Amino acid sequence: MTTATLGAPVRQRFHIRPFDAPLGAEVLGLDLTRPLGDEDFARLHQAHLDHHVLVFRDQRITTDQHLQFSRRWGPLQRHVLQQFAWQGHPETLVVSNIVENGQPIGLGDAGVYWHSDLSYKPRPSLGSLLHAQELPAEGGDTLFANQHRAWNGLPAALRQAAAGRRAEHHYLKRYAELQRRSPWRPDLTPEQVAQVPAVAHPVVRTHPESGRQALFVNEHFTTRIVGLPDDESSALLDELTAHATQDRFVYRHRWQPHDLVFWDNRSLQHLATGCPPDQRRRLIRTTVEGDAPI
């Protein structure tokens, strides 16, 4: 009997092509509907650490295959807005502006401020995997900013102000504001509110796998720098977040049909640029749990 008949994964021939950008690479010629062997996985793992965003082109995967591939990277996290999980799959989140029979089918305004997914949890996300299901003809790009470069490029005075500090992150920071912007943001139940108490993380974190330092504050969820008076805290936060998302640190992802994009939430921030409201956009996300930042 050959190993193939035993069902051992066959090695795939695929290319990893870095973008001409501050981060990111595309993976060409890989088929994630097929089982993935350990050597292929190891190549992807290293590429993810090197490039922070991997764009797997043309992945015609089912939600189960998306979940299986995601679990190779670690345990998955459930989003507090469970009403936007894809039918029967609590470890998914539907990101969509589509409203059916007066009901939104997903989170329509996900990521409209710069953020790192689940930075408001004691164990924020390692990375997220977002799969394109329906794309608008216009707009809908996603921006990613390299937070290693942001830290390395920080002016000395700001570095000094940030080093050794901790910052508080809270899911509710902009929730009421988002509800005013969008008619589709649900009220949170007391149980949902209880799931997202404020947490504190270092302002500069050490990536648990690469050992590199990255800035870890964002305008969506970071509420204050611990131990500073309010005015100093908000001035410092504003300076850090404005610095961290400059164009020179950013890759703009223009979605192609069936893209699966896997980004590193420990080394990046990201932003949804939005699309015209009459154009349908629908993606499915899974979220891999990471370490408590140190």
Can you give the binding site for ligand OGA, defined by CB under 6 A?
Answer: 95, 110-111, 117, 128, 130, 142, 270, 272, 283, 285
Nearer to ligand OGA, 127 or 154 (CB): 127
- Which residues 6+ apart lie within 8 Å of 2 measured at CB? none
Would you give the distance in Å from CA 140 to the centre of its chain?
15
What does each C-alpha distance from 82 to 86, 103, 191 come to in angstroms?
A: 9, 15, 12
Q: According to the binding rule CB under 5 A, does residue 111 interact with Mn ion? A: yes
130 binds, among Mn ion, ligand OGA, none (CB under 5 to 8 A by kind): ligand OGA
Residue 94 contacts which entry, Mn ion, ligand OGA, none (Cβ below 5-8 A, type-dependent) = none
CA angle 81, 85, 88 (to 5 degrees): 135
- Alpha-carbon distances of 127 from 20, 48, 177, rounded to whole Å: 22, 10, 26
Q: Active-site residue among 48, 169, 207, 285?
A: 285
Residue among 223 and 287 whose Cβ is closer to ligand OGA = 287
Active site residue 117: yes
166 catalytic per annotation: no
Q: Select which of 51, 66, 115, 185 is catalytic.
A: 115
285 binds, among ligand OGA, Mn ion, none (CB under 5 to 8 A by kind): ligand OGA
Q: Which is nearer to Mn ion, 91 or 117 (CB)?
A: 117
In whole angstroms, the minimum distance from the beta carbon of 39 to Mn ion comes to 31
Is residue 264 close enough to count as binding Mn ion by CB under 5 A? no
Q: Considering beta carbons, is residue 222 or 233 the nearer one to Mn ion?
A: 222
285 catalytic residue (yes or no)? yes
Rounded Cα gap, residues 166 and 288, in angstroms: 23
CB 214 within 8 A of CB 266: yes
Instruction: For 148, list phi and psi in degrees, rounded to 5.
Output: -70, -45
Give the nearer residue to ligand OGA in terms of CB position, either 51 or 285. 285
Closest separation in Å from C-beta 248 to ligand OGA: 21
| Residues of span 116-175 touching Mn ion by CB under 5 A | 117
User: How far apart are alpha carbons 261 and 252 in whole angstroms?
Assistant: 12
First to last CA, the chain: 49
> Half-sphere exposure of residue 82, counting CA atoms within 13 Å on the CB side?
10
Q: Which does 95 bind (CB under 5 to 8 A by kind): Mn ion, ligand OGA, none?
A: ligand OGA
CB 127 → Mn ion: shortest distance, Å?
11
CA distance 214 to 266: 8
The residue number with the shortest CB distance to ligand OGA is 111
- 26: contact with Mn ion by CB under 5 A: no
Distances (CA, A) of 90 to 33, 94, 135: 21, 10, 23
**d(C-alpha 174, C-alpha 1), whole Å:** 59
Instruction: List active site positions.
Output: 115, 117, 270, 285
List contacts with Mn ion (CB under 5 A).
111, 117
